[in-house]
Amino acid sequence: MKSAEKTNVMRILDQKNIKYISHCYINTNAISGIEVATVLKQNPDQLFKTLVTVGTTNTNYVFLVPVDKELDLKKAANVVHEKSIEMVKSKDLLKLTGYIHGGCSPIGMKKQFKTVIDITAQNFDTIIFSAGKIGYQVELSLEELKEIIEFELREITK
């Protein structure tokens, strides 16, 4: 489904002349990433969720993992050189990122945090992730994404 409404993420992509495809699932009952992938008729391995964490040093990190996988906290902590990391509480997400749980995007956060994308993203020409609002997703290549945010590709799932 194409989206008529523009989110802040889409406006940022437009300003930077970055090509993307928008996907919309607002009039569905899809909640989980797997349900969203099903509604959008997309491969769940290509659909990524944005997870915000905090390390023992009180530093925040962003991880993108396929919706059908789980972030391996040990691997993720190792990648960012932390003793351990944990998920940021839902209630703290808006203040920290400007996004609510379920609508968090690695693009357009209040502050740019170190971002790590699961290595499996390189298996696809494009990846799909939140456009910053529940019901909206954007699809773009890793090359295009690199134009906007810095990230590294690492093995971070269980």
Q: Is the dihedral of CA 154, 44, 104, 8 positive or negative?
A: positive
Calculate Rg over the CA atoms of the chain: 15
Largest CA distance in the chain: 44
**pLDDT for 31:** 83
The 10 Å Cβ neighbour count of residue 137 is 27
- For 41-62, b/e burial (b = at least 16 CB within 10 A) is ebebbbbbbbbbbbbeeeebbb
Q: What is the predicted pLDDT for the residue at 109? A: 96
Taking CA atoms, 18 is separated from 13, 34, 50, 142, 146, in Å, by 5, 27, 20, 11, 10
Domain boundaries, the chain: 8-154
pLDDT for 28 equals: 86
Full pLDDT tens readout for the chain, 158 residues: 444 689 999 999 999 999 999 999 988 888 888 999 999 999 999 999 999 999 999 999 999 999 999 999 999 999 999 999 999 999 999 999 999 999 999 999 999 999 999 999 999 999 999 999 999 999 999 999 999 999 999 999 99
pLDDT of residue 41: 93
The pLDDT, as a whole number, for residue 3 is 45
Alpha helices (runs of H) in 28-121, residue ranges in sequence order: 33-39, 73-79, 90-97
- CATH node for 8-154: 3.90.960.10
pTM of the complete model: 0.94
**Residue 109 CA from chain centroid, whole number:** 11
pLDDT of residue 2: 47
Tokens of 28: 């569905």
- The per-residue pLDDT for 107 is 97
pLDDT of residue 4: 60
